[in-house]
Structure 1
Amino acid sequence: MTLLTTWPESGPETVVRRTSDPAEIAAALAPLGVRYEQWPVRADVPADADSDTVFAAYGPEIDRLNAEEGFTTVDVLGLHPSDDPEYPVKAKAARAKFLQEHTHDDDDEVRFFVSGSGIFYLHVNGEVHAVYCEKGDLLGVPRGTTHWFDMGTRPAFTAIRFFHEEDGWIGSFTGSTIASRFPDYDTIHAGHVGSAA
């Protein structure tokens, strides 16, 4: 299930908020301009579904969001463990790409998780909000929001991405090492999955 954990930016020693209630998560993120909602999960869509399958399954939701937000480009991105000898290299490179704090000044970052999970860390107003997203979650991070994203050391997810610009967004890195001071995806995932069992 989805999880929101909030700490002071000074470090994770004090937990300001920890909730897995979708309504509480949406209410906590809304003042930050962050859109959070859950879409119905299509059980017949495989975890590693191709883009045609994903678009066919989630067409009505995609059309609604495009109409509301004016997105012009939508794509599907997926990465899943495999026996391919290139997987570890691809996984490491993909994870490293946005693991450090950055902003996107040219567009919002909006993702819907078709399968799997990942964590967006939002560094806003003196706090760090770790949003553990999984299948069925849509998260919209406004342009200019300082954040980072962790997909873990063995990424396993398929996500729909929405863009206002055809070229997508580019990360502007802050140079801060704040990401290294907070629990990473693997740590949060292990504790979250373990506590839900």
Structure 2
Amino acid sequence: MKIYYHDDDNTTDKQLPHETSETVSVEELKKLGVLAYHYDNLEDVDKLASERSYVSRDEVLITPESFGADRAIYESKLTSFYAEHLHEDEEIRYILDGAGYFDVRDASQSRWIRALLEKGDLLILPAGIYHRFTLTTENNVKALRLFREEPKWIAYNRPEADGNVYRNEYLKEIGV
């Protein structure tokens, strides 16, 4: 997994790397409540799921073709994933194939940290963290989603979610 500060250039394609020379360590992510792993097999993912009480899972395929013949539907979905948002539960993704970028806010809440997830990478985002997601220019990712309860994906966009109780709890946990 490659982790670095995003270049903050919003004038170019969000699916480009937006890489800077400022790398971010897994330990630095951990201070934000974000956990990053690499597993070469599902048995290790199953072990983590058991340890963290994840009881449900599903797979998601995101490609232009997976949304049918209308490319506008795919573009609309990518736009919604890239809108800065939070969830009221953890977001867990294990990449089975392809690649994508998860961006999270740093401790100051002013800069984006970008993580390139490729096959075998697993990322756990805590409830209440603002983040966004996009694919690489390859336009292909197949991911295993893990859940503590029944699968759900409800996004609360910024700034409407600024007063969300999970957001406030998250900020307290990281000392902001």
TM range (shorter): 0.7 to 0.9
User: What is the alpha-carbon distance in structure 2 between the residues aligned to residue 92 and residue 162 of structure 1?
Assistant: 25
Kept after mapping to 1: 8 A contact 2:4/2:19: no
Q: Secondary structure at the match of 1:168?
A: coil
Tell me which residue corresponds to 1:102: 85
Letter in 1 for 2:5: T
Unaligned 5+ runs, structure 2: 10-17, 161-176
Q: By how many angstroms is 1:15 displaced?
A: 4.7
AA in 2 matched with 1:28: E
Residues 44-193 of structure 1 correspond to what in structure 2 (within 5 A)? Answer: 58=42, 60-82=43-65, 86=69, 88-105=71-88, 107-126=89-108, 127-152=111-136, 155-175=139-159
Letter in 2 for 1:31: K
Q: Distance in 1 between matches of 2:61 and 2:154?
A: 19
Could you state the TM-score of these two structures normalised by the residue count of structure 2? 0.73
Q: Sequence identity, in percent? A: 25
What is the match of residue 18 of structure 1?
A: 23
Task: Say whether 1:5 aligns with 2:10.
Answer: no
| 8 Å CA contact 1:104, 1:145 repeated in 2 | yes
Corresponding letter in the other structure for 2:62: L
CA contact (8 A) 1:120 1:150 kept: yes
Aligned residues: 150
**1:30 equivalenced with 2:30 (yes/no):** yes
CA drift of 1:148 comes to 0.8
Aligned residues: CA RMSD: 2.9
Give CA deviations for 1:7-29 in whole Å, capped at 9, x if unaligned: 59xx469957226xxxxx32221
- 1:71: how far off? 1.1
Q: Provide closer, same or farther for how the CA distance between residues 62 and 85 of structure 1 changes in structure 2, counting only shifts above 3 A.
A: closer
- How far apart, in 2, do the equivalents of 1:83 and 1:112 lie? 19
Indicate conservation of the 8 Å contact 2:57/2:151, yes or no.
no
- Shift, 1:88, TM fit: 2.0
What amino acid is aligned across from residue 102 of structure 1 in structure 2?
A: H
**TM-score normalised by L of structure 1:** 0.66
**CA shift at 1:154, angstroms?**
5.6
Q: CA deviation at 1:133?
A: 0.7
Counterpart amino acid of residue 81 in structure 2: F
* Partner SS for 2:50: helix
Residue 124 of structure 1: how far off its partner (Å)? 3.1
Q: How far off is 1:6 after superposition?
A: 1.6
Change (3 A) 1:87 1:38: farther
